[in-house]
Amino acid sequence: MIDTDRIVGSDRTARPVQRDGRPQRRARLLPGGLRWILPGFAISVGLIYYSIVYSGYLSFFDWPGGRALMTPVGFQNYLTALQDPVLWTALRNTLIYFVVVFVVQVAGGTLFAAAMHSKVRLANLYKVLVVIPVVVAPATLAPAQIQVWQSDGTVNRILGFFGLSSLEQSWIGQSTTSLLVVTLVGCWGAIGYGFILIYAGMSQIDPELIEAGRLDGAGNFRVLFSVVLPSLRPIIVSLAILNFITALKLFDNPWLITQGGPAHSSEFLGTMIYGETASTDRNLGYASALSILVLVVAVAVSIFMQLRGRERVARARGRRKELADV
């Protein structure tokens, strides 16, 4: 009846095509959308925006909190931040963390979700196990993770068991490997998270498309790449944005496991901000300046990702149309 892959959603750049090749006129959107987005908008913006403005205001002062003096310092906090080598280490860590965790989350989440959509025994058990790192709070699992990565912990013992004793080292205690530990722990939690969302997203995929792919002789992995992943593009773009924002303000796991150390090697902006508010001679103005930097970078990069994502949706849909035409 309605050919679902001929009609594009609310994307403005692509024009759907009717069977005879003429462009179809865009389905008109219903007016009056404002009242629909207002409740969500009012709650999130209303409550949080005061905090944003407050932080923006504070960032121009030096202030330890309480009744101590608030000294106006203009842009000094921002300058100090941008000249602090620890900030640049944190940004580098953020980038590495983001790329690794995002790729692992999408790959792992998709593979798991695909497996769960197939005929597998004990599917429910696997679904629960993968999700437990998400369900249980990071603060709870951190002691267990710390145990695993100790010099006499599980990882080193496994390495020894497989005869790789030369690789045994103090994973948490070396500035070269501390980021690795934080990133791997992050991946561990991210896969279950991605699984939950991608599993739901897969339900939207038209089974006919997959059948069509198989009839064309495509194997499991070809189907995954050419049919499943492109259909999941919107979720993947959203996950990219979320992962970037998370990586930027990352706090829980690095703080609980390495506290940003040793010697700032696994520092993130989130741990820097927390460290500043946690310190006994803190400067809440500096912490606010860091938060504003996080906000600006996060929004800028997210908008960029969304725009790139839109182009690819259009291109991917065009490509799929070609595939189906063949």
Partner 1 sequence: MFETRSRRARIILQLVLTIAVIPFVIPLIAMLQTSFEGAGWGNYLAVVQVPGFPKFFVNTIIIAAASIVIVYLATLMAAFGFSKLRVRGKEVFFWLMMAALTLPEVVLIAPLYTTAVKLGLLGTYWSVILPIAALQIPFTVLIARGYVDGIPDAVFEAARIDGANTWRVFWSILVPLSRPIAVALMVLVLIYAWNSYLLPKVFLIDDGMGVVTQLPEFFRRQYNDDTPKILAASVITAIPTIIAYIALQRQFERGMAAGAIK
Partner 2 sequence: MMRKRFLAAAAVAAAAALAITGCTGTSGDEGSDVKPATSGTVTWWGWTPDTPVADSYIKEFNKQYPNITVTYKNFENVDYRNTITPALDSGKGPDVFDLSPAGGSPDTWGPYALDLTSLAKDTLGADWKDKIGGNYVTQLTSSDGRFVSLPLGGMSAGFLWYNKDILDKAGATVPTDYTSWVDTCKKVTAIGKTCFTMGAGGKDTFPTDMYHSIANTVDPDFFIKAATGKAKWNGAEGVKVLEIIKKMKADGIIASNALDGPQYPLANNEFMKGDAAMVQMGFWYTQYAGAESCKASMEAAGVTNPTCFVQLPAAFPDVAGDGHKSTFFGEADYGLAINSGSKNIGAAKTFVSWMTMKNEGQQNVANALDLLPALKGVTPDWSNISLVNDAVQRPAIETLIKDSADTTESRQWQTTEKTLDAIVVAIQQVLDPSVNKSIQSIADDQQASSVASKVGTK
- The Cα–Cα gap between 139 and 203 comes to 33
Pick what 281 binds: partner 2, partner 1, none; C-beta below 5 to 8 Å, kind-dependent.
partner 2
Q: If you write DSSP's letter for every residue of 165-190 in order, what string do you get?
A: GGG---TTT-TTTHHHHHHHHHHHHH
Binding mask 140-179 for partner 1 (x = CB under 8 A): xx-xxx-xx-----x-------------------------
Q: Kindly report whether the peptide bond that precedes residue 262 is cis, defined as omega within 30 degrees of 0.
A: yes
Site for partner 2 in 81-110 (CB under 8 A): none
Residue 146 found at the interface with partner 2 (CB under 8 A): yes
- At closest approach, how far in Å is the CB of 208 from partner 2? 42
CB of 33 to partner 2, least distance (A): 13
CB of 275 to partner 2, least distance (A): 6
CA angle 92, 253, 246 (to 5 degrees): 55
Residues in region 218-277 near partner 2 by CB under 8 A: 258-264, 274-275, 277
Residue from 129, 279, 306, 318 in contact with partner 2 (CB under 8 A): 279
Least distance (Å) from partner 1 to the CB of residue 200? 4
Instruction: Report, in Å, the least distance between residue 315 CB and partner 2.
Output: 30
In angstroms, the CA 281 to CA 63 distance is 10
Q: Distance between CA atoms of 257 and 125, rounded to whole angstroms?
A: 28
> What is the rounded CA–CA span in Å between residue 263 and residue 90?
12
What does the alpha-carbon distance between residue 42 and residue 178 come to, in Å, rounded to a whole number? Answer: 41
Per the listing, tokens 């049919």 go with 227
Of 149, 313, 307, which Cα lies nearest the Cα of 233? 313
Query: Of these partners, partner 1, partner 2, none, which one is at the site of residue 10 (CB under 5 to 8 Å by kind)?
Result: partner 1
- Nearest Cα neighbor of 188 from 267, 108, 113 is 108
Instruction: With contacts defined by CB under 8 A, name the span among 67-75, 91-99, 131-139, 161-169 that binds partner 1.
Output: 131-139
Establish if 41 lies at the interface with partner 2 (CB under 8 A).
no
The residue written with tokens 């561990």 in the block is 188
> At closest approach, how far in Å is the CB of 259 from partner 2?
3
72 binds partner 1 (CB under 8 A): no
Residues between 4 and 43 that touch partner 1 (CB under 8 A)? 4, 7, 9-11, 27, 29-37, 39-41, 43
Asked if 167 is part of the footprint of partner 2 (rule: CB under 8 A), the reply reads: no
Contact between 76 and partner 2 per CB under 8 A: no
Say whether residue 175 binds partner 2 (CB under 8 A): yes
Q: For residues 162 and 170, is the Cβ–Cβ distance under 8 A?
A: no
* CB closer to partner 1, 37 vs 326: 37
Quickly tell me which residue has 């960032």 as its tokens. Answer: 59
Distance CA 104, CA 184 (A): 10
Cα 94-100-105 angle, rounded to 5 deg: 115
Q: Is 266 in the site for partner 1 (CB under 8 A)?
A: no
**Residues binding partner 2 (CB under 8 A):** 49-50, 53-54, 57, 64-68, 143, 146, 149-152, 169-170, 172-177, 258-264, 274-275, 277-282
